[in-house]
Amino acid sequence: MKIQSRLPDVGISIFTVMSRMALDYGAINLSQGFPDFSIDRKIIDLVHQFMLEDNNQYAPMPGTPVLRSVIAEVIDRSFDHHVDPENEVTITSGATEAIYAVVTAFIKSGDEVIIFDPSYDSYDPVVRLNGGIPVHINLSYPDFSVDWDQVRARISNRTKMIVINTPHNPSGSILREADMRELESIVLRDNILVLSDEAYERLIFDGNVHQSVLRYPALASQSLAVFSFGKTFHATGWKMGYVAAPAFLMEEVRKTHQFIVFSVNTPIQLALSEYLKVPEHYESLGTFYQKKRDFFLEQMKGSSFVPLACSGSYFQILSYDNISKKSEVEMAEELTKKFKVAAIPVSVFYQDKSEHNVLRFCFAKKEETLAKACAILRTI
């Protein structure tokens, strides 16, 4: 039987490839974005408590009311923005499912979606699976900023959505107030939706403020903001996230969400609703990860690798321009096989496979893990 693939050019993700290679060659894995330290025991105890209390059946499709109410309070506290927990918040199986549900709800055949490269690898395939046309615009190197004049030039009467990601994976750059004002003027003028991937919203450094679309009322009226509990609370394997959006948009998202997963883990939702009542649990994360970034950079002093600016996320870009002219994929493979440290080639996040001689390293690791990896990297 012959089938025609809907994604013929898509293979195994680079994260799977590099993590498998790290395992095969006994390398320190700074490639895939997950912590190697334990999550807070308090939240584990809460999950256990709610399981023992027999909260083990389906949650309501949009999420448990108590969690959605607490999220609304967190959004109000964080962004001075009111959302109706009943109609404007939906709990999802991680940010990736949220992105899929949002794109599937609104993108149909022929619709164009602007994506900024380097970009998270799910954006483009999801658009194409729904018959949409990805329009890729490269961020300016080396600061990975948006050229808004270029964005205006690429908008057509078929542009339906713009996808933004701040703090940015893989670069660690952030959008600032001026960027949000530019975005707002564009989407309001041309009646375009915004999908705002804010999975790393709490991981922001150096006194910067996270510029959520929810901070801007007019922009928020045409935006769907996606968040990740997995990234926030070091529990990526739980696959828990949520979407916040105006009710008329959320109504459509729930139509797709209910047929993708219907609902997500009940005891974890209830545990999160309790855990989020203590603001310190999420408000301290920027400081926590900034210390890890700074430790990583301190350990890299004396190395031939050159760090690029990192204002958020838990990824640090390092240039190897002073070391080799090999392609990024070749360099990542050599680093893993020969030197036993795994990283991600940034070129794979570009549609045009742009090469800048840079690799992405995840610093969401124990200090001993980072110190061991950096000791190796300093010898190269």
Per-residue model confidence as pLDDT tens digits over 24-40 = 999 999 998 889 999 99
Percent of the chain exceeding pLDDT 90 equals 94
Domain with CATH 3.90.1150.10 in the chain: 14-32+284-377
Q: What band does 162 get if pLDDT is binned at 50, 70 and 90?
A: very high
Residue 320 pLDDT: 98
Per-residue model confidence as pLDDT tens digits over 199-246 = 999 999 999 999 999 999 999 999 999 999 999 999 999 999 999 999
Per-residue model confidence as pLDDT tens digits over 42-69 = 999 999 999 999 999 999 999 999 999 9
Per-residue model confidence as pLDDT tens digits over 343-377 = 999 999 999 999 999 999 999 999 999 999 999 99
Q: What CATH homologous superfamily does 14-32+284-377 map to? A: Aspartate Aminotransferase, domain 1 (3.90.1150.10)
Residue 94 pLDDT: 97
Q: What band does 13 get if pLDDT is binned at 50, 70 and 90?
A: confident
Q: What band does 280 get if pLDDT is binned at 50, 70 and 90?
A: very high
Q: Using alpha carbons only, what angle is made at residue 119 by residues 17 and 135, rounded to the nearest 5 degrees?
A: 125
Question: Which segments of the chain does DSSP mark as H helices, in order?
Answer: 14-24, 41-52, 65-79, 94-106, 123-129, 148-154, 177-190, 217-220, 229-232, 247-260, 266-275, 280-283, 285-299, 328-339, 367-377
Percent of the chain exceeding pLDDT 70 equals 100
- pLDDT of residue 14 exceeding 90, the answer is no
Q: What band does 303 get if pLDDT is binned at 50, 70 and 90?
A: very high
Per-residue model confidence as pLDDT tens digits over 97-115 = 999 999 999 999 999 999 9
Residue 46 pLDDT: 98
Residue 33 pLDDT: 86
Residue 356 CA to residue 203 CA, distance in Å, equals: 25
Chain centroid offset of residue 249 CA: 21
- Please give the average per-residue pLDDT across 251-270, as a whole number: 98
Residue 192 pLDDT: 98
Q: What band does 15 get if pLDDT is binned at 50, 70 and 90?
A: confident
Domain with CATH 3.40.640.10 in the chain: 41-279
- pLDDT of residue 2 exceeding 90, the answer is no
Residue 155 pLDDT: 98
CATH value of 41-279 in 3.40.630.30, 3.40.640.10, 3.40.50.2300, 3.50.50.60: 3.40.640.10
Task: Spell out a b/e string for 198-209, using b for 16 or more CB atoms within 10 Å of the CB, else e.
Answer: bbbbbbbbeeee
Residue 227 CA to residue 287 CA, distance in Å, equals: 19
- pLDDT of residue 139 exceeding 90, the answer is yes
- The pair of structure tokens assigned to 30 is 């700074």
What is the overall mean pLDDT for the chain?
96
Residue 17 pLDDT: 84
- pLDDT of residue 10 exceeding 90, the answer is no
Partners of 312 in the β-ladder: 204
Please give the model's pTM, rounded to 2 decimal places. 0.96
Contact 101, 259 (CB under 8 A): no
Partners of 228 in the β-ladder: 241
Residue 77 pLDDT: 97
